Structure 1
Amino acid sequence: MRFGIDFGTTRTIVAAVDRGNYPVVGIDDIDDDQHDHIPSVVALDGDRLVAGWEALRHAQGRPLLARSFKRLLARPDVTAETLVAIGDQERRLGEVLATFAAHVVERIRRSPLFAQGSDGEHGSDGEIEAVVGVPANAHSAQRLLTLDAFSRAGVRVLALVNEPSAAAFEYTHRHPRGINSKRTSVVVYDMGGGTFDASLVRIDGTDHEIVRSLGVARLGGDDFDEVLADLALAAAGRDGDVFGDRARGRLLDEARTAKERLAPQSRRMVLELGDDDVTVPVDEFYEAATPLIDRSIDAMRPLIGETEPGTLADTEIAGIYLVGGASGLPLVPRVLREEFGRRVHRSPYPGASTAIGLAIAADPESGYRLRDRLARGIGIFREQDAGRTVSFDPLVEPAASFDDGGAIFASRRYRAAHNVGWFRFVEYSALDASGESTGDLTPLVDVIVPFDPALRDGRDLAAVPVERREDGPLVEETVRVDANGIASIRIELVDEGYVVERSVERA
C-alpha cells in the first residue's frame, strides 16, 4: 500500500492512497485513542530508545525526552554520528532516526486503513511504499539521512519530495479552479514546527513546475513557543530564573498547548508555571511573535517581487497558500493578508496538507506530474596560486532544472596546474552580483586528488605542499544530483583513467 509521510519537526503525519482518495491515517496511541499524527519525539527507557506516543508516556516527569531532533538535520556538519541529547545522556542521530522511522512504520501497520488495504485484500504484512517529504532547503546529508532511516525501517521509498512542492499538489487537488489563464502560479508558504520553506509553483492542470524555492532552515513553530515561554516568565517576574532541561521542556509544552488552542477571538492565554497559572495577553504575544513572520516574508519576497502593500497586482500569482502546522496560528494569515491582501488562503488542514500532497505524488493513477528545481546550488572552493589564494566556482546554480531522467549534471574539463588538487565542494543558497556565494554554506565533500602520479602511493595527501606545475593532466569534473536531491562527485584524469568518486557518506 502507498502512503505520503510528512516527517515533521514536532508532528509526523501520514496520508494514504485509497482509490483516488488521500485520507490522513488515524494513529492509535498506547491507550488506543486515535490521533491524526505521531509526535516526533524519542525517549530513553533504560538503554532502549522508544518513540512517539510511547516516548511521551514513558518520559512523563522525567528528563529523558528529545523533541525537535529533526532540527539537527539542518546543521551543516550533520552526520549519522551527530549526538542527540536525551536528558543527561546522548545517542547518535542515526540511531534516533532509525528508531523513530521504525515506530512510524509500526503505527502504520497497526492502522485499520492498512490492515484493510487500498484494495480490501492487503494484510498487516503487506509492503509499505511511500513518498517522504523533506524541506525544500534540505541539503544532501539531510536528505540521505532521512532516506536511509525510512528505507531501513522497511519502507520502499519511492521518492523524496520537497514539502512545499507536495503541498502544491494538495492545493490543486482541493482548488482545481484556482488557476486560470491570467493567474498561472501559486506561492506555497510552508511554516512547520522547525523550518520555513516557500516555493513558487507554475501550474497547468495537473502539471506542476517549481520555478524557485527559498527557505530558512531554523524558523518555525518551535520559535513561537520560545517567545511565548519567555513572555510567561516575564509575566510571573521570573525572567531571570535559570531552568534545567526538564523544567524548560515542561514550560515549552505548556506554551505549545496554549498556542495551538488559540482562536481568532482569543484575548488571553493561560500557562501553568510550577504551581501557578500565568496569563499572557494575546496581543502581547502577537507583538512579540510578529518579527518571526516578518522574517518568513523577507525570505519569501524574491518569489513575488516588489508589489504594492496589500496586493498581488501585476503578478501571475493566483494566491499564497499557507500550509504547515505553525501557519495554523491566527496571526500568520493576518500578517500576510496585511502585506499581500485577499489572495492569501490557508489550507483547511494546514498540518496535513503536505502529507496529502505526498500521497498524491505516490499515486500513479493521480495524473499529477512534478518538475522540480534544485533549491540549493553546488559550488567548489579551489586552491589557486600554489595554495596562496582560494576562489569560489559555482557549478550548479540554485533553481537548476532536473532533466527528463530526474537528475542534474554539470561537467567541465581543464588542465591541472598543480601537483595536488584540493576540492572543497559545498552547497550554497545564493550568489551575489560578483558571483560569490552568499547566505549559508553547507560542506558537501572534500576531495584531494594526486595529479602527480608519484603521489599515488597511499601517502597522506593533506600533508603534501601544493606546488604549481606546467602541463598537468586533463581533468574532468562531474557533479550529479539525483532525483532525491542528493549530490555526488566524480573527478577523472582523462588521459590516465584515474578516477576519484565521492558522495555523501551513508548513515
Structure 2
Amino acid sequence: MDLGVDFGTTRTITAVADRGNYPVVGLTDQLGDSHDWFPSVAALAGNRLVHGFEALAAAEQGAPLLRSFKRLLATPDFGPDTLVRVGDAVFPLVTVLESHLVALREALVRSGIDWASVTSTVISVPAHAHGPQRFWTLESFRRAGFPVTAMMNEPSAAGFEYTHRQPRTISSKRTRLIVYDLGGGTFDASLVKVEGTAHEVVDSLGVNALGGDDFDRVLADLALTAIGTPADRLSPTAADDLLMACREAKERLSPQTRRIALEAAGDVVVVDVNDFYAAATPLVEQSLAAMRPLLGGLDAETAELSDVAGIYLVGGGSGLPLVPRLLRERFGRRVHRSPYPAASTAIGLAIAADAQSGFSLTERLSRGFGVFREVADGRALSFDPILDRAAEVPADGEQVVVRRYRARHNVGEFRFVEYAQLDPSGHPAGDVVPFGRIVFPFEAALQREPAPVPVAVERRDEGPEVEERYVIDPNGIVTVRITDLDTGFALEESLAST
C-alpha cells in the first residue's frame, strides 16, 4: 500500500493509492464522526502529550493546547534543541512532531489501514523549507514508523494532482503551470513545466510566515476592536478560543456571506465581511508580490503567461473567497481553484508514491547555499555562493559539487548559510538561515589536536591541497565535507550529526 501524507499547519491529510485512484483517508473523532483530516494540534493531558481529535477533546476539558507548531519548524534558529511550551511543561519541538506522527499512524491503523502492507510513504515540506526543517520532518516521520521513500515540495505535489485531474489542459502551446499554495502557515508558489506525466520545477518562491493563521488574526483583531477590548487583556485560553472561532467562521465563508458573527471576550460581535476582506487584502497582495518574479510582471496580458495552462490555487488558505476573487481580477479565467484545496498536496503525494502512475519530477533546491570565508589573513569575510537556488535536486542518488585549492593560511573558518536570494553586492539576503560552522586546521600540527585550538590566522606561502565536497541528496538536504588531501584529515557538517 502506498501513502501520501501532507503534514499541514492546521491539518494533516493522508491519501492512499488505490488502482489509479487516490482517495483521502477518513479518520474518526471522539464522537464517532469521520473527517478527511487529522488536526495538527497537541495538548497536555495530565503528564503526556496527546494529538489530533484527542487533543481537541482534552482542550475542551481544560487541557493546554498547542496549535500551528509546524510554523515553528520554519524559524531560522530551529534545531533539535528548540523547545516549545505546552501549558507548564516544556518539550523539544522535534519530540512534539514525532509524537504527533505516531498518533497519526495509530489513527490510520484504527481507520482500517493494514500497516504491515504499507511499503511506501511520500511526505511533503514547504518549497521554501530550509535544511533543518527538511531533515527533521523526514527524520520524525521515519522515527514514527512511516516507511518514507521520498519527500516532495508541497506545490510540486499539488502540480501532480492538477495534471492527473486535468491532463487535457496541458498542450503543446500551454506547457507550464503556476501552483499558488496558501496553507495554514506558509505560502509557496512554483512554476512547473509539464510534458505528459513528466514535471520539471522551473522555480519556486515563498514566504515562511504567511498563511491562514494570519487571516485568522486579522479577523480576531477586527472583533476585538469592535468591542473595544485590547488583545493583551485576553487570557491565553480566551485568545486561543477566539482564534479557533475565527478559523471556523472563516472556513464557513461563501461568496454570498455578508456578515461574520463571533463570540469575543464573552461578547457577541458581528464583523462586516467587506471590512474583513479590506483588512486581509494586504496579505493576499504579499503573496502576489512573493510570486511575481516567477513570471515578468504577472499580468494577464503579458507574453510570459501565453504558455501557462493555469494558475492553480491550493492549500486551505485559498478556500477564503477573497483569494480567488483577487487573483481572478489580476489574471482572469486562467485562475483555477482545486476542488480539493486542502487535500490537493496529499493526493499528489499519493500519486508520487504510486509506482504505476508514471509521474516523474525534476525538483530544484529553491534556497541557495553558500559559505562566508575569511580573507585578508582573517581580517575580513567574503561570501561564496556554492549552490544556486535553481540547482536541480537529484531524483535518486546524489549530486556532488567539488572545490579544490591550495590553502594559504594555517587555519580556516567556514560559516555555511542557506538563503532566499543574493543582494546586489552578492551577499545572502532574504530569510538567511545558519547551516553550520567548521573551523578547519590546514596546518598538520594542528590536526593532531583533539579539536582545533584557538590560534591566530596566519598566511602560508604553500599550504596543503584542500577539497570541499558538497553533496545534495534526493530530499534537497546538503552535507559538507572538507578534506586535507595531503594528510587525509577531514571534517564534516551535516544535519544528521546535529
The counterpart of 1:437, out of the listed 408, 421, 428, is 428
Matched residue type, 1:396: L
1:251-282 CA-partner distances (Å, limit 9, x unpaired): 10011011001000100101111332110000
8 Å CA contact retained: 2:80, 2:93: yes
Spell out the pairing of 1:391-430 with structure 2 (5 A cutoff). Answer: 391-403=382-394, 405-430=396-421
- Counterpart CA distance in 2 for 1:304 and 1:361 is 27
The counterpart of 1:178, out of the listed 146, 169, 180, is 169
After TM superposition, give the deviation of residue 342 of structure 1 in Å: 1.4
1:415-442 CA-partner distances (Å, limit 9, x unpaired): 1121111011111111234422221111
After TM superposition, give the deviation of residue 340 of structure 1 in Å: 1.5
1:85-140 CA-partner distances (Å, limit 9, x unpaired): 2123321112101110101111111113x2xxxxxxxx454335310011011111
Matched residue type, 2:357: S
Instruction: Give the corresponding residue for 1:120.
Output: none
Moved more, 73-82 or 165-174: 73-82
- Counterpart CA distance in 2 for 1:203 and 1:244 is 50
Moved more, 228-237 or 82-91: 82-91
Q: Does 2:264 match 1:273? A: yes
After TM superposition, give the deviation of residue 408 of structure 1 in Å: 2.9
The counterpart of 1:372, out of the listed 348, 359, 363, is 363
Structure 2 residue matching 1:386: 3-state secondary structure: coil
- Counterpart CA distance in 2 for 1:247 and 1:480 is 48
- Counterpart CA distance in 2 for 1:89 and 1:345 is 44
After TM superposition, give the deviation of residue 353 of structure 1 in Å: 0.3
Q: Does 2:444 match 1:449? A: no
Structure 2 residue matching 1:272: 3-state secondary structure: strand
- Cα distance change of structure 1 residues 31 and 129 upon mapping to structure 2, 3 Å threshold: farther
1:43-67 CA-partner distances (Å, limit 9, x unpaired): 1112111111111101225351110
- Counterpart CA distance in 2 for 1:416 and 1:292 is 49
8 Å CA contact retained: 1:63, 1:245: no
Q: TM-score w.r.t. structure 1 length?
A: 0.95
8 Å CA contact retained: 2:361, 2:395: no
Structure 2 residue matching 1:379: 3-state secondary structure: strand
Matched residue type, 2:21: N
Matched residue type, 1:349: Y
- Cα distance change of structure 1 residues 9 and 89 upon mapping to structure 2, 3 Å threshold: same
The counterpart of 2:324, out of the listed 314, 327, 333, is 333
Structure 2 residue matching 1:333: 3-state secondary structure: helix
The counterpart of 1:381, out of the listed 372, 382, 400, is 372
Moved more, 339-348 or 360-369: 339-348
Matched residue type, 1:99: S
The counterpart of 1:343, out of the listed 323, 334, 337, is 334
Q: Does 2:40 match 1:40? A: yes
- Counterpart CA distance in 2 for 1:294 and 1:396 is 30
Instruction: Give the corresponding residue for 1:9.
Output: 9
Spell out the pairing of 1:212-361 with structure 2 (5 A cutoff). Answer: 212-239=203-230, 241-308=232-299, 310-311=300-301, 313-315=303-305, 316-361=307-352
Matched residue type, 2:297: E
The counterpart of 1:129, out of the listed 93, 98, 120, is 120
Moved more, 399-408 or 56-65: 399-408
Moved more, 207-216 or 454-463: 454-463
- Counterpart CA distance in 2 for 1:413 and 1:492 is 10
Instruction: Give the corresponding residue for 2:143.
Output: 152
Structure 2 residue matching 1:177: 3-state secondary structure: helix
Instruction: Give the corresponding residue for 1:89.
Output: 89
8 Å CA contact retained: 1:417, 1:470: yes
8 Å CA contact retained: 2:446, 2:453: no
8 Å CA contact retained: 1:432, 1:438: yes
- Counterpart CA distance in 2 for 1:314 and 1:138 is 27
1:372-416 CA-partner distances (Å, limit 9, x unpaired): 111111100001112210011000001111346453322111111
8 Å CA contact retained: 1:87, 1:245: no
Percent identity, aligned pairs only, is: 56
8 Å CA contact retained: 1:41, 1:66: yes
Structure 1 residue matching 2:152: 3-state secondary structure: strand
Instruction: Give the corresponding residue for 1:118.
Output: none
Structure 1 residue matching 2:230: 3-state secondary structure: coil
Matched residue type, 1:10: T
After TM superposition, give the deviation of residue 84 of structure 1 in Å: 1.1
Q: TM-score w.r.t. structure 2 length?
A: 0.97
- Counterpart CA distance in 2 for 1:321 and 1:403 is 26
Instruction: Give the corresponding residue for 1:49.
Output: 49
- Cα distance change of structure 1 residues 128 and 93 upon mapping to structure 2, 3 Å threshold: farther
8 Å CA contact retained: 1:63, 1:86: no
Moved more, 124-133 or 201-210: 124-133
Structure 2 residue matching 1:340: 3-state secondary structure: helix
- Counterpart CA distance in 2 for 1:152 and 1:354 is 22
Structure 2 residue matching 1:475: 3-state secondary structure: strand
CA RMSD, 1 decimal: 1.5
- Counterpart CA distance in 1 for 2:364 and 2:255 is 37
Instruction: Give the corresponding residue for 1:203.
Output: 194
After TM superposition, give the deviation of residue 247 of structure 1 in Å: 1.3
8 Å CA contact retained: 1:312, 1:340: no
- Cα distance change of structure 1 residues 82 and 28 upon mapping to structure 2, 3 Å threshold: same
Structure 1 residue matching 2:76: 3-state secondary structure: coil
Q: What runs of 5+ residues in structure 2 fail to find an aligned partner? A: none
Structure 1 residue matching 2:167: 3-state secondary structure: coil
- Counterpart CA distance in 2 for 1:139 and 1:241 is 32
Q: Does 2:490 match 1:499? A: yes
1:335-384 CA-partner distances (Å, limit 9, x unpaired): 11111221111001100000000000000000101111111111000011
